[in-house]
Amino acid sequence: MIKIEQIRVKAAEKTMDILELIAEKPRSFSELIELMDSNKATIYRFITTLEDKGYVYKNQNDCYQLTLKLYSLGKTEIERHDLLGIAKPFLLKLVKEVKESVLISIFSKDTVYYLDKIEWNSALRIVVEPGRTAPLYCVASGKLYLSHFSDNELDDYFNKHPLKSFTGNTITDIYTLKNELVKIRDQGFAIDNEEWEEYLRGVAFPIYDYSNKMVAALSISGVSYRFSEEKIYSIVGEVTKITKKISELLGYVNTDRERGQKI
């Protein structure tokens, strides 16, 4: 009985070790064998089990990457603590001030994942709901996230994700989008001008954590005729202060942080 329990503990340890290695960055099968100092059959057994259970998937580079399943398992605790718990009071206050919908989003698998939304009480409401995803390159929060990518990360992203058009305003030229990302980094926020959905405009601001890493975005979205660029620029200063405060409560301390890396 003791031996069986020891085997189970070792199996659990190996499973967690593999997940932690993949969490650091996507790993190939051969990398996992080397890093785990194990044989092909053993790693294959563990990785296929994790894949079958929906915790990892193989990306276009033949490397294993985490899915959002681990996040979903801890969603209750995340909502109770940390990001959403800290941000919620600010969102409730902000939605009354801007009279538009306010959202919190995170990023996974090269997509934007909308975590929470507080809707302004209006007859015309936006259709972005918590749990929905969007491509990085055509929404404000996604472009903001891309503006933090290095040259190599951007090239890898563009190689894997052709820039297809969703509306007449979607940026589908890489050079144009790179210039847009430089502008976003310089000004500290991003605007989506009906690039994902017609008649929907948004603006996004970064949220950083204790490691000075951008971990989320606070976005404000509304129908374009009402949420004009003039209105957006009028609230930039106030929303920047709010996201800075949320970041500080998450442990962010470097107020002079350079935004992203040179593209």
CA distance 130 to 149: 25
CA distance 29 to 207: 34
What mean pLDDT is predicted for residues 217-228? 89
Determine the Cα angle at 79 with ends 76 and 80, to 5°.
85
What mean pLDDT is predicted for residues 235-258? 82
Sort strands 111-118 and 101-108 into parallel, antiparallel or unpaired: antiparallel
Which pLDDT value is given to residue 212? Answer: 85
What mean pLDDT is predicted for residues 198-208? 93
Which pLDDT value is given to residue 260? Answer: 41
Determine the Cα angle at 84 with ends 79 and 88, to 5°.
120
The mean pLDDT value of the chain amounts to 83
Which pLDDT value is given to residue 174? Answer: 94
Q: In whole angstroms, how far apart are CA 8 and each of 1, 11, 13, 51, 107?
A: 11, 5, 9, 19, 33
Q: What is the pLDDT of residues 138-155, one digit of tens each?
A: 999 999 999 999 999 999
Residue 132's pLDDT band, with cuts at 50, 70 and 90, is low
pLDDT at 10 over 80: no
pLDDT at 2 over 80: no
pLDDT at 5 over 60: no
Which pLDDT value is given to residue 127? Answer: 54
What mean pLDDT is predicted for residues 27-55? 90
In the chain, % of residues over pLDDT 70: 84
Query: Which long-range contacts link 112-118 to residues 24+ away (Cβ below 8 Å)?
Result: 112/136, 112/139, 112/141, 112/142, 112/145, 112/217, 113/68, 115/83, 115/84, 115/216, 116/79, 116/84, 116/87, 116/88, 116/91, 118/91, 118/92
pLDDT at 226 over 50: yes
What mean pLDDT is predicted for residues 165-190? 95
- Residue 99 is classified by DSSP as -
Q: What domains are there in the chain, each with its CATH number? A: 2-67 (1.10.10.10), 71-249 (3.30.450.40)
Select the more confidently predicted residue: 31 or 133. Answer: 31
In the chain, % of residues over pLDDT 90: 42
Q: What is the pLDDT of residues 74-128, one digit of tens each?
A: 654 554 457 888 888 999 999 988 888 899 988 876 788 888 788 877 545 555 5
What mean pLDDT is predicted for residues 25-42? 90
